[in-house]
């Protein structure tokens, strides 16, 4: 059974990436109403003194028809592009020679620094150009990053460019009226994808100096939700991939704590609540980023990080996908000897049961739909054998919901991590109990793992079948029996938790 589960890890990585892309598209569709693009972008003057006038211009109903279906939303106003095609051409020509010298400068002069900052601003401002919106990542974001991260760019020039691009992104995102949601999202993507170092054949080291600016985006409810989701992912990337000793890529313990505290607060904030797909995905990404930070307690000894994760993970009204993601994140944080391993293990097993019941409910729904389709065809044949309805075929059964499959595999990773490196970092319940003071909980965790494996294996293995199959009652009964035999003595996640779990 373990072999089956380990074989799905690579499939999980592909699945996770695909789900991320699909759900970001869904969130964009939900959160960004159609807006009116300008019939012709008003060119911004190359003279920096004239730029504010262009930045305060807006796209409105009077400018052009809406982007989607000809529908006009007269109340939506977006700032016009900061630069035009002619401006872009002029700036390229102006900066071509001096920027080459700047990129090679070991100790840039004030004049060279000014050139670098103007170039960085130009690179970011290209995001606002209407013609680049559909392919902004390839045509704007990647070129901007390459200019700063290229092998011939000196460390001093790189630091100037990365900071100037970050500052300009923040300016664009703070503008009122705002830029088009696509522009805002691309600005956040640029901010969160910058690298302090790109070593060969290794994970790029994120540019962590911008962490405060990205924290500011996390709770900015004026931004489209997809921007806040991307900000959460960016903070998680900083926490996970920062490297000690790398200039602008070394996340200190104080900085990591600031990120952790911000994420924990956001996860349980009232603004983060909601049953729509976007809010669920937002909470998932915030929880995942909190797990990437790896702190169960903040520097003041508060257990707010792990308390926030467990509050979400144990909430029966929360979606299974979000709960499973939060539970896995909780098992990736650094526990101490007072952490209530018994409670966390118990809640994880409860979650597995709920996922199993959801699997069986989906199977039953498939069977009901199939029976209804067969009856409808039979009734149609009895009435008129030659009618189109009588000649219809029963549709194939639908597979398990993607969110259910996600939740199922996440609960496995609550016990067993994805890699050997993660095991040495004590990720997962089976490895957490190797920490000092927790070894006495190992038998409980092992017994829980053995009882939930058949459920997880069934959901994962049978999902590949053409027709999902219900989990046998005897399998779920064994898990129920474990729960009845192993209730936790108390529901405090840690001794310093402000209150027990509901």
Please tell me the number of Cα atoms within 13 Å of 248 on its side-chain side: 21
The reported pTM is 0.84
- Closest to 172 in 3D by CA, of 246, 245, 81: 81
At 385 the pLDDT is 87
Q: Residue for token digits 């809640």?
A: 347
Burial of 447 (0-12, 13-18, 19+ CB in 10 A): middle
Q: Would you say the C-alpha torsion 308, 313, 317, 321 has a positive or negative sign?
A: positive
What is the tally of helices (H) and strands (E) in the chain?
21, 4
pLDDT of the residue at 57: 56
- 195 in helix, strand or coil? strand
Distance CA 21, CA 315 (A): 27
Residue 284 burial class via C-beta count within 10 angstroms: exposed 0-12, middle 13-18, buried 19 and up: buried
Spans in the chain with pLDDT lower than 70: 1-75, 462-466
Cβ neighbours of residue 209 under 8 Å, at least 6 residues apart? 162, 163, 166, 196, 248
Residue 60: C-alpha distances to residues 224, 293, 397 (Å): 18, 42, 47
Q: Is the peptide bond before 177 cis (omega within 30 degrees of 0)?
A: yes
Distance, in Å, from the CA atom of 269 to the CA atom of 13, rounded to the nearest integer, reads: 29
The per-residue pLDDT for 7 is 45
Share of the chain above pLDDT 90, in %: 73
- What are the structure tokens assigned to 304, written together? 């707010």
For residues 101-111, one letter each, b for 16 or more C-beta atoms within 10 angstroms of the residue's C-beta and e for the rest, the string is ebbebeebeee
pLDDT of residue 233: 98
């Amino acid at each position: 059974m373990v072999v089956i589960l380990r074989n799905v890890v690579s499939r999980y990585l592909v699945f996770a990436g695909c789900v991320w892309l699909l759900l970001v598209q869904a969130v964009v569709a939900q959160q960004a109403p159609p807006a009116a693009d300008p019939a012709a972008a008003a060119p911004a003057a190359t003279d920096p003194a004239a730029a504010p006038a262009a930045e305060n211009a807006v796209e409105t109903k009077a400018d052009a028809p809406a982007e989607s279906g000809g529908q006009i939303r007269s109340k939506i106003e977006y700032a016009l592009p900061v630069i035009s095609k002619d401006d872009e051409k002029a700036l390229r020509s102006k900066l071509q020679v001096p920027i080459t010298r700047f990129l090679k400068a070991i100790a840039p002069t004030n004049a060279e620094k000014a050139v670098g900052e103007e170039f960085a601003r130009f690179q970011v401002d290209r995001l606002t150009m209407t013609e680049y919106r559909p392919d902004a990542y390839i045509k704007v974001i990647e070129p901007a990053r390459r200019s700063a991260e290229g092998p011939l760019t000196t460390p001093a020039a790189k630091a100037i460019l990365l900071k100037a691009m970050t500052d300009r992104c923040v300016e664009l995102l703070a503008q009122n009226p705002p830029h088009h949601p696509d522009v805002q999202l691309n600005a956040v993507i640029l901010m969160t994808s910058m690298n302090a170092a790109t070593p060969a054949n290794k994970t790029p080291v994120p540019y962590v100096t911008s962490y405060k600016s990205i924290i500011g985006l996390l709770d900015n409810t004026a931004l489209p939700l997809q921007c806040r989701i991307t900000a959460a992912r960016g903070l998680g990337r900083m926490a996970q991939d920062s490297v000690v000793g790398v200039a602008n890529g070394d996340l200190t313990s104080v900085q990591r704590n600031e990120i952790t505290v911000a994420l924990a607060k956001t996860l349980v904030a009232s603004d983060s609540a909601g049953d729509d797909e976007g809010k669920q995905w937002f909470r998932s990404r915030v929880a995942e980023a909190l797990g990437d930070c790896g702190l169960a307690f903040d520097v003041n000894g508060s257990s707010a990080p792990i308390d926030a994760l467990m509050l979400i993970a144990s909430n029966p009204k929360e979606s299974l996908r979000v709960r499973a993601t939060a539970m896995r994140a909780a098992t990736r944080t650094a526990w101490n000897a007072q952490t209530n391993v018994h409670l966390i293990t118990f809640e994880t097993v409860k979650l597995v049961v709920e996922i199993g019941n959801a699997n069986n409910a989906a199977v039953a729904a498939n069977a009901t739909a199939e029976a209804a389709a067969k009856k409808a065809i039979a009734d149609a044949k009895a009435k008129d054998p030659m009618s189109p309805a009588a000649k219809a075929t029963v549709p194939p059964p639908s597979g398990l919901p993607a969110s259910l499959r996600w939740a199922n595999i996440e609960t496995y990773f609550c016990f067993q991590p994805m890699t050997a490196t993660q095991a040495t970092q004590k990720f997962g319940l089976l490895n957490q109990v190797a920490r000092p003071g927790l070894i006495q909980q190992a038998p409980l965790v092992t017994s829980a793992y053995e009882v939930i494996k058949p459920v997880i294996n069934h959901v994962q293995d049978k999902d590949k079948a053409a027709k999902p199959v219900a989990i046998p009652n005897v399998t779920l009964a064994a898990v129920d029996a474990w729960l009845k035999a192993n209730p936790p003595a108390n529901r405090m996640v840690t001794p310093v938790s402000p209150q027990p779990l509901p």
